[in-house]
Amino acid sequence: MLLHDLAPGMHPRRVRIFLAEKGLSIPRKEVDAAGHANETPAFLKLNPLGKLPVLELDDGTAISESLAICRHLEELYPTPPLLGSTSRERAQIDMWTLRMEFELSRPIAQVFLHSSEFYRGRIEQVPQVVDHARRHALATMQWLDRELASRKHIADDLYSMADIVAQCAFVLGKAVALRIPPEMAHLSRWFAAVSARPTARA
Ligand SMILES: N[C@@H](CCC(=O)N[C@@H](CS)C(=O)NCC(=O)O)C(=O)O
């Protein structure tokens, strides 16, 4: 297996943390996206969307989409479980992972996509999207702060994929001045705990 990686990227970070939580180390190749190496014909053969991460299997299969990569890794290496052990847990973690994807990660990514130097000239940047997405992310944070008053982690008391998606979103949030407001005590407590895990800097 080979992980085509992008060290500063939010989605590749999800996969690296997932691997680290499993105690796995696989070969990785850093792709120079700033230098447009993700737009070459060779890379587009791996992922026609030109996005990272991509997990290339030994038989040449290329899996992109960070959540799909993690699903594959979970099936190969089920311990410790990060996607749930029972059907109830799996449904619960999927539900929260999708909520974190669409209600937190996506709006924070939108702020970055529509305001950063990196995406200037790569996509059509619409300044109005930035304010809207910022408000969306803040509303999600308020909701999460209430949710985390009664449990340790996002989906349940156990650390899971839902936490990984959310913590990676907040790492990107720091780059676009979308930090967790200190008065959100429960969300702050959760973020301090996940950031202190030995895998957080993977
Ligand atoms: N839905 C995809 C999103 C992947 C994605 O947007 N990757 C970004 C880095 S975080 C990327 O490759 N950007 C390079 C570019 O758009 O040029 C996933 O979950 O893997």
Specify the domain boundaries for CATH 3.40.30.10 within the chain: 2-76
Substitution candidate for ligand 1 out of 4, 15, 51, 112 with most atoms within 8 A of CB: 51
Domain at 87-195, CATH class: mainly alpha
Q: For residue 48, give both structure tokens.
A: 């026609």
In which band, very low, low, confident or very high, does the pLDDT at 169 lie, cut at 50, 70 and 90?
very high
- pLDDT tens for residues 36-55? 999 999 999 999 999 999 99
Stretch(es) of the chain classified as CATH 1.20.1050.10:
87-195
Pocket test for ligand 1, best of 4, 11, 106 (most atoms within 8 A of CB): 11
- Cα of 28 from ligand 1 centre, angstroms: 16
Q: Rounded to 5, what percent of the chain is helix, strand, coil? A: 50, 5, 40
Helix residue ranges per DSSP H, 22-105: 41-46, 66-76, 87-100
Q: Which residues pair with 5 in a beta bridge?
A: 30
Closest ligand 1 atom number to CA of residue 122: 17
Tens of pLDDT, residue by residue over 1-38, are: 999 999 999 999 999 999 999 999 999 999 999 999 99
CA distance from start to end of the chain:
18
Nearest-CA residue for ligand 1 atom 9 is 9
CB 162 within 8 A of CB 93: yes
- Beta strands across the sheet bearing 28-30: 28-30, 2-5, 54-56, 62-64
Is 3.40.30.10 the CATH classification of the domain at 2-76?
A: yes
Q: 107-156: per-residue pLDDT in tens?
A: 999 999 999 999 999 999 999 999 999 999 999 999 999 999 999 999 99
pTM of the model: 0.97
